[in-house]
Copies of this chain bind each other. A is one copy, B any other.
Amino acid sequence: MAQDIRQLLQQQGVRLTRQRQILLELIDGSGRHLDADSLYLLAKEKDPKINRVTVYRTLKLLKQGGLVDELDLMHFNGEQHYYETRSKQEHAHIVCLRCGKVEEFFGEPLERLRRQVETKLGFQILIARTEVGGYCSECQIARAREISEVTRKPTAKPNHASG
């Protein structure tokens, strides 16, 4: 719950303003990964006077405090960043480049990787991010259909062609 985050913030001497409460609720509450713009739009429903800049400033704050993680989701839909509250369980984000669905993948390979980087390189990890782009099972089928439609050349049988 966002409750934990609130306490952490207070400890850091950060004021818990109305705007920040709204944004925290949204990031933590919505089941999906929101970007700054979506977040702004949603926040505006609760407080029509809230400003985009406040959204950016809050996200920066939460990011720096290690309370949220920033994702790119393979830039599948532009250059925005997406946000999620930092969870204890490391996971990869699997992004369908056709429908945009994002699946989370948990598993030992991620922990193994982390350990190996720490021991083999003597690296101190602060953030780790694994993103995978491709096609989800549904979209693989849909794409196969689409491609076969395109491949069917229009120069062939003009039976019921383009017009």
Binding site for B on A (CB under 8 A): 70, 72, 74-75, 79, 92, 94, 96-97, 103, 105, 107-110, 112-114, 116-117, 120-137, 140
Distance A96 CA – B126 CA, assembled complex (angstroms): 10
Residues of B within 8 A of A74 (CB): 127, 129
Question: Per a CB cutoff under 8 Å, which of B117, B125, B137 touches A121?
Answer: B137
Question: Per a CB cutoff under 8 Å, which of B70, B109, B117 touches A94?
Answer: B117
Copies in the complex: 2
Identify the closest chain B residue to A139 (Cβ): B124
Distance A43 CA – B108 CA, assembled complex (angstroms): 43
Q: Contacts A94-B117, A105-B117, A112-B109; is A126 near B133 (CB within 8 Å)? A: yes
5 A-B contacts (beta carbon < 8 Å): A79-B79, A103-B121, A123-B135, A129-B130, A130-B131
Q: Quick check: B129 and A117 within 8 Å, CB to CB?
A: no
Q: Quick check: B134 and A127 within 8 Å, CB to CB?
A: yes
Interface centre among A117, A132, A140 (most CB of B within 10 A): A132
